[in-house]
Amino acid sequence: MTNTNRLNWVDLSKGFGIILVVYGHVTRGLDSAGLSFDLFQDLDNAIYAFHMPLFFILSGYFFIMSTKKGINKYVKSKVSVILYPYLLWSLIQIIIQFFASNYTNGKVVLNDIITFFIPRGQFWFLLALFFISIINVFLYHKTGKLGLFISMIISFFYYLGGFNIRFIDHIMSNLLFYNLGLFLFLYSDTVNKVILGRVWFLLNTLFFLMFQLLLYNNFFESNFFNFFIAISGSLFVIQLFNQKTFQFKHLKELGSQSMIIYILHILIASGTRIFLKKIFNIDNSIVHLIIGLLFGIYIPFMLYKFGFLKKINFLFKYQSSYNSKH
C-alpha cells in the first residue's frame, strides 16, 4: 500500500463498494414495492455480508493520518464532512419522503420530521462513522494504540454477542472494522509483504467463495461466521484492487465521489422507481433494476462531473476555514 497506490486502491474499492450499496438499496426498494426477482434474496445476502464492513475498514485506514493536525482540527473536520451532511440530508430526505409518502414504500408522518436526527435509511452509516471517529480520536489521544486495540476487542465481543442495543448498535458493531482498517495502516509494511501477495490473494479468494457458498446454502447462521465472511469479503476487494491487472479509471472516479452518491442515491432511485411505475406503468423488475441502478449512481456523479454540485457544495460540507481531505 504505497503512497501512490494507496489512493488508487482506496478509490477503486470505494467505487466497487458504492455500486453494491446502490444495487442493494434499489433491489430492496423493488422488493418492498412487490417488484422482486428470483435471485433477490441470495444476492442481497451475498452483498450485505461484507460491503458495509468494507467501508468502515477503508475509513479507518486514514484515521492515523487524519489525526496528525491535532485533535481539535480532527473533530472540526468530522463535524464538517460527516455530521453536518448527516443532519442536513436526513432532514431533506425525510421532508421529501413525507410529501411523497403516498407513492413511497414506507409511510412518513410528521413525527418523523421532528425526529429527523434519528438515523434512517442509509444515513445510519454516517452517524456511526462520526461517533466511531470521535471515540477513537479521544482514545488515541489519551491511551495511544493500546486504547484502540482494547476498544476493538470490546467491539469484537459485542459483535459476537449480537446484543443489538438501540442507538449504539451500529457504533459498537462497526468500531471493530474501523479499527481493523487503522491497524492495516499501522502495519502496512507487513500487509504489503504478506496479505497483499498473490498467494494470499488466491487463498483468500477461495475462502471468500467458500464462505459465500456456505451462506447460499444456509449452512452457518452465527455472528462468528458473519465476522469471517465480512473480513474475507472486505479483504478480497482490497486485495483485488491492489493487483495491477484491476486498475479501472472510471471505477476510481466513482469511488472518489462515493460520499455524494451515498447521500443522493436513495432519493434518485426511489424517484426513478415511482416515475417508471406510476407514469409509464412499467412493472418489469429487471428494467427497474437497471435504470434505478444507473440513475442512482450516475445522476449524482454527473452532477459533480459537470460542476453543478460545486455551486451547492454547502449542502455537502460545512463551510469553514478548515477543510479536511480524507
Q: Report CA torsion sign: 255, 116, 293, 35.
A: positive
- The band of 111, judged by pLDDT with boundaries at 50, 70 and 90, is very high
Q: Residue 14: CB partners within 8 Å, gap ≥ 6?
A: 55, 58, 254, 255, 256, 258
| Span 306-311, average pLDDT | 84
Grid cell locating 59: 475509513
pLDDT tens digits along 114-131: 999 999 999 999 999 999
Domain boundaries, given as residue ranges, for the chain: 3-315
- The band of 260, judged by pLDDT with boundaries at 50, 70 and 90, is very high
148 exposure class (CB count in 10 Å sphere: 0-12, 13-18, 19+)? buried
Query: Cα separation of 269 and 96, whole Å?
Result: 13
* Residue 247 confidence (pLDDT) above 50: yes
pLDDT at 119: 92
- The band of 197, judged by pLDDT with boundaries at 50, 70 and 90, is confident
- Per the model's pLDDT, the better-predicted residue between 170 and 306 turns out to be 170
| Secondary structure class of 255 (helix, strand, coil) | helix
- The band of 3, judged by pLDDT with boundaries at 50, 70 and 90, is very low
Query: Cα separation of 120 and 99, whole Å?
Result: 17
Query: Cα separation of 13 and 196, whole Å?
Result: 14
* Residue 189 confidence (pLDDT) above 90: no
pLDDT at 221: 83
What percentage of the chain exceeds 90 in pLDDT?
79
| Span 97-112, average pLDDT | 85
pLDDT tens digits along 207-240: 999 999 999 998 888 999 999 999 999 999 999 9
- Per the model's pLDDT, the better-predicted residue between 166 and 91 turns out to be 91
pLDDT at 4: 43
What percentage of the chain exceeds 70 in pLDDT?
96
Query: Cα separation of 283 and 274, whole Å?
Result: 11
* Residue 90 confidence (pLDDT) above 70: yes
Q: What angle do helix axes 124-143 and 71-78 make, rounded to 10 degrees?
A: 180
DSSP 182-206: HHHHHTHHHIIIIITSHHHHHHHHH
pLDDT at 237: 97
pLDDT tens digits along 4-52: 445 799 999 999 999 999 999 999 999 999 999 999 999 999 999 999 9
Residue 184 contacts residue 57 (beta carbons within 8 Å): yes
Task: Tell me, rounded to whole angstroms, the distance of Cα 324 from its chain centroid.
Answer: 19
- The band of 77, judged by pLDDT with boundaries at 50, 70 and 90, is very high
Residue 203 contacts residue 136 (beta carbons within 8 Å): no
* Residue 1 confidence (pLDDT) above 60: no
pLDDT at 312: 87
Residue 234 contacts residue 57 (beta carbons within 8 Å): yes
DSSP 29-89: HHHHTT---TTHHHHHHHHHTTHHHHHHHHHHHTHHHHGGG-HHHHHHHHIIIIIHHHHHH
Q: Report CA torsion sign: 80, 86, 91, 92.
A: positive
Gyration radius of the chain over CA positions: 20
